[in-house]
Chains A and B, each alone.
Chain A
Amino acid sequence: MLSYIGLRILQALLGLWFIATLVFILSRSIGDPAEIFTARHGHVHAREMMEERLGLDKPLYHQYGIYVGQLLRGDLGKSVRNGIPITKILMERLPATFTLGLFALGFAIAFSIPLGVLGAVYRDSPIDWFAKVMAFLGQAMPPFWLGIMLIILFAVVWDIVPPAGKTGWTSYILPGFTLGWGVMAGMVRLVRSSMLDVLDSDYVTMARAKGVGEIVVVSKHALRNALIPVITYSGLVLGAFMNGSVVVEQVFAWPGIGTVAVQSVVSRDFPIVQGVVIVFGAFFIFINLFVDILYAVIDPRIKYTGQ
């Protein structure tokens, strides 16, 4: 088992290195930031100074070496515009994105487990249909549109929550709901189908045959086992949150990483965008690593060695 964990950690590190290198190649192939910033002034000297400041006057392999060295020391570089270290900018914005993601995840779990379980236990009943409709809508609605519609309804027409920005706990409701609905959709379907599988299994029949009460069968025997795929899914959900946060933060003017990233793309402050892509990618890889290890620890049927 230790060798399995070691292998997974090695793979994760390899993945990180791939991402960092890919980001480097992309950033060097999409245009010279020094040119973009100094083209307006057309001054050769300004451009040379800019290149020197950004290290662009050195050969490419040298730049790559510097870049990897900085990354290893946890240095993501500085903003091209105002020279603020990118780690500082990201640390300032991370809490807003993180708390919003947590709120959305909490909302998704709080709705999807009861809906999925009840839908599986009372198949084809009104509650099952309700769960299905919620799930299908959640997977089909564009989040940016859902966000705008919620703003129209709850902030403009009824005026019960703030339309945008991060002010108090009420400002979490609309963006959290927008971000969480799509995730909830996938979770409801997953909980429902894995509950159905488990409720069909021999040990549940056995428990029923022994005379265990239905509530205990569902909550203790079935639900616990049905939750294993949900743990795996929660890891993948973070990918959805990263994508979603870019769009949802934009709609609600949420002061998080997504908003910073979009602003930096527009103002061509590429080191910041680079930093966000690396941080998001690293986060995703580590979450997957964590889920894999957790999975191996929880489920003894998983083989740890090689194939």
Chain B
Amino acid sequence: MASASSTQIVMTNVWKLRLISMVSGLKRAPKIPTVILGILLAFGLFGQWLAPHDPISIDLAKSFTPPVWHEGGSASNILGTDKLGRDILSRVIIGSRVSLALSLTIIALGGGAGVILGLISGYSGRKVDSLIQRGVEVILAMPTILVALVFVFTVGRSFESVMFILSPFLAARFTRIVRGETLSIRERDFVAVAKVIGTPSWMILLRHILPNVFNTVIVLATLEVGHLILLEASLSFLGVGVPPPHPAWGLMVAGGREFISSAYWIALFPGLAILFAVLSINLFGDWLRDTLDPRRRQL
């Protein structure tokens, strides 16, 4: 009993130390991407107070107002307005919410499922492993955008349907990587020792293997957020994202497509928002990978 409680203490200390080192490590993070991510997060959380205008209120008198540095631009709509006179800046700010909420939910659901499946697949071996791996292969062989397009178009556009159809694809990517890690950790001595003293499999997975794949999972999750933002934007561009009038970046670009020769700003700025968001997430993720998980340079 005494040994069990002391492992408990050691384990919680490991997680606590890890948390402390993560927080203090953030100080060394690359500055510009971290700042952009902070701004993005602020947009997502406090957008309704930061946006200068109501993102969905229509004002036809102001339609196609160019950005402030153009002739005819006004200071009240710094980045101009769209066909219906809605403020582009406000829509870009509020639009971050859909991208962030959706990609983080999918990371939590799909990524979580992928970690569990990857652990089971890597640890159990043989039949269970090959069954899970065939499933992963099939999912990865499906054209994501096309399958999502069909699914969302049939069941209807909503936050939930996009979430539901993209999660398995993410789970498959997580499963593959976590399985690979588990396979190598399974062979290590401390796992063998744990087995010898009769530790149940679930506890070995939870206490001995999971903490060792944790870094990889964090890095992968960060890099996949960027990938998901792009995917969500593509779906939304094709008209099967979260439905209007909620502003979503992809949908805004699609809306500006008709007016590329007369009002380029409608398509330009939401695209720049996607670009900066994904760019800073990727730079941040790269830094995180180099710090936490230097073996996986190619992740």
Residues of B with C-beta under 8 A to A277: 142-143, 146-147, 150
Q: Which residues of A contact B150 (CB under 8 A)?
A: 26, 30, 265, 270, 273, 277
Interface assignment of B100: CB less than 8 Å from any CB of chain A: no
Q: Which of A125-155 contact B (CB under 8 A)?
A: 136-137, 139-146, 148-149, 151-152
CB-based nearest B residue for A17: B138
- Find the B residue at minimum CB distance from A287: B141
Question: How many residues of A sit at the interface, in one of the four size bands?
Answer: 35 or more
* A174 nearest CB across to chain B (Å): 13
Contact of B274 among A142, A151, A193, A261 (CB under 8 A): A142
* Given A140-B226, A151-B260, A190-B298: A265 in contact with B268 (beta carbons within 8 A): no
Measured between beta carbons, the chain A residues less than 8 angstroms from B134 are 11, 14-15, 18
The majority secondary structure among interface residues of chain B is helix
Given A136-B279, A273-B146, decide whether A144 and B237 contact each other with a Cβ distance below 8 A: yes
Residue of B nearest to A135 (CB): B282
Is A285 among interface residues, defined by CB-CB distance under 8 A? Answer: yes
A239 within 8 A of B: yes
Q: Is the CB of A139 within 8 A of B271?
A: no
Which chain B residues lie closer than 8 Å to A115 at the CB level? none
Interchain CA distance A242-B149 in the complex, whole Å: 13
- Picked from A139, A262, A284, the residue with its CB within 8 Å of the CB of B141 is A284
**Residue of A146, A246, A266 touching B143 (CB-CB under 8 A):** A246
Tell me whether A22 is interfacial, beta carbon within 8 Å.
yes
**Which residue of A is nearest B267, CB measured?**
A148
Taking a contact as CB atoms under 8 Å apart, the answer to whether B298 and A141 are in contact is no
Which A residues are in CB contact (< 8 Å) with B282? 136, 139-140
Q: Which residues of B contact A266 (CB under 8 A)?
A: 153
Query: Would you give the shortest CB distance from B191 to chain A, in whole angstroms?
Result: 17
Q: Is B155 an interface residue (CB 8 A)?
A: yes
A237 CB to closest chain B CB (Å) equals: 13
Q: How far apart are the CA atoms of A83 and B65 in the complex, in Å?
A: 48
A20 CA / B254 CA spacing, docked (Å):
33
Q: Judging by beta carbons under 8 Å apart, are A15 and B141 in contact?
A: yes
B257 contacts partner chain A, Cβ-Cβ < 8 Å: yes
Chain B residue with minimal CB distance to A143?
Answer: B234
Residues of B within 8 Å of A143, CB to CB, are 234
- Expressed in whole angstroms, the Cα–Cα distance for A243 and B151 within the complex equals 15
6 further interface pairs, Cβ-Cβ under 8 Å (given A152-B260, A242-B143, A247-B238): A243-B144, A246-B146, A246-B238, A280-B143, A281-B143, A284-B141
16 A-B interface contacts by CB (under 8 A): A22-B138, A22-B142, A26-B150, A139-B226, A140-B226, A142-B237, A142-B275, A142-B278, A144-B254, A145-B253, A148-B253, A148-B271, A239-B140, A251-B257, A258-B146, A277-B146
